[in-house]
Amino acid sequence: MADPIYLNEADHAKISAAVAQAELLSSGEIVTILTDRSDGYTDVALAWAAFVAFLALGALAIAPDFYMGLYERLLADWGHEWSPRLLFSLAAGVAAIKFAAMLLLQMWPPLKFWLVPAPIRTQRVHAHAVRAFRIGAEMRTTGRTGILIYLSMREHRAEIVADQAIASKVDPTVWADAMSAMMVELKKGQVADAMVAAIDRVGAILALHVPRADDDVNELPDRLIEI
């Protein structure tokens, strides 16, 4: 299934212009990344499938007559003896069917991401944002003034990660205003405006803590990166 398209060419231009404008007032280098999702959560999907399979085995242990009767009706297998081997085969078959069915259900992305616990989504988005920052911004500016605004759509999560020169001067809680401004626009379905709102707030904070130097040059691209 193809990833959704969140932004058009005009949206990209708007975000690039916002980054360029914000960087006029500071030595900070703002990098923006938009991604459909930060993880495939295959391990979570497998865990849910295993959980459902174990539930099915528990139901079989509590009410074996239902499954035994279903087996006999489906296979028209009358008059046989329920040996231990046949019972174990029935249990294995029920577990396998439930496991496979739960995996198939989770091929529908809305259900799959709804089933991912919120703390896991938060942790995976943060980890992916940090990896992206290390690749795209960390230690890639002369004064270590790179900062990443990262938005992960499926998880409904955003992160702001700053390089050493900024992180040493700005308390992490200061970015809450930028995050709040982003969320206001996202709730309206305005993805580009959400990024611009965050860029504007981050730019104002950078201008205060790392003002633009006379010899400052643009060291990182202003364009939005979609991954």
Give CA torsion, residues 202, 167, 129, 219, to 10 deg: 70
Give the list of residues 6+ apart from residue 159 with CB closer than 8 angstroms, or none.
125, 126, 129, 130, 148, 149, 150, 152
Query: Is residue 2 scored above 60 in pLDDT?
Result: no
Would strands 224-226 and 157-162 be described as parallel, antiparallel, or unpaired? Answer: unpaired
The stretches of 63-175 forming alpha helices (DSSP H) are 64-75, 84-105, 109-114, 118-136, 164-167
Cβ-based neighbours of 214, under 8 Å, separated by 6 or more: none
- Given strand 157-162, what is the order of strands in its sheet? 157-162, 146-152, 29-35, 224-226
pLDDT confidence band for 96 (50 / 70 / 90)? very high
Instruction: Evaluate if residue 86 carries a pLDDT over 70.
Output: no
Q: pLDDT per residue over 4-49, tens digit each? A: 788 999 999 999 999 999 998 888 889 999 999 999 999 999 999 9
Residue 68 belongs to a domain: yes
Amino acid letter, 225:
I
Mean pLDDT of 76-103: 76
Which residues, in sequence order, are bridge partners of residue 225? 33
Q: Is the pLDDT of residue 173 over 70?
A: yes
With 0-12 / 13-18 / 19 or more C-beta atoms within 10 angstroms meaning exposed / middle / buried, residue 24 is exposed
Establish how many alpha carbons lie within 13 A of residue 193's alpha carbon, considering only the half-sphere containing its beta carbon. Answer: 9
Domain coverage including residue 102: 42-114
Question: Is pLDDT above 90 for 164?
Answer: no
| Boundary of a domain, candidates 87, 114, 141 | 114
148 assigned to some structural domain:
yes
| 171 confidence band (pLDDT: 50, 70, 90) | confident
CA dist., res. 217 & res. 29, Å (int): 10
If you average pLDDT over every residue of the chain, what do you get? 87
Q: In the predicted model, what is the mean pLDDT of residues 69-83?
A: 62
pLDDT (average), residues 177-198: 93
Structure tokens at 53: 């399979």
Q: Are 23 and 84 within one domain?
A: no
Q: For residue 74, which of 57, 90, 56 has the smallest C-alpha distance?
A: 90
**Token reading at 216:** 């400052």
Separation in Å, CA 72 to CA 56, 59, 77, 85, 115: 18, 18, 5, 16, 35
Q: How many CB atoms are closer than 10 A to CB 2?
A: 5
Residue 189 shares a structural domain with residue 201: yes
- Domain end (from 86, 114, 142): 114
Average pLDDT over residues 155-183: 90
Q: What are phi and psi of 193, to 5 degrees?
A: -65, -30
Give the tens place of pLDDT for each residue, 49-63.
Answer: 999 999 988 887 787
Q: Which of 114, 132, 153 is the last residue of a domain?
A: 114
**pTM: predicted TM-score of the whole model, two decimal places:** 0.82
Domain assignment present for residue 1? The answer is no
Q: Which range, 123-127, 141-145, 159-163, is most confident?
A: 123-127
123, 196: one domain: yes
Confidence of residue 89 (pLDDT cuts 50, 70, 90): confident
Q: How far apart are CA 147 and CA 161, in angstroms?
A: 6
Q: Which pLDDT score is estimated for 61?
A: 77
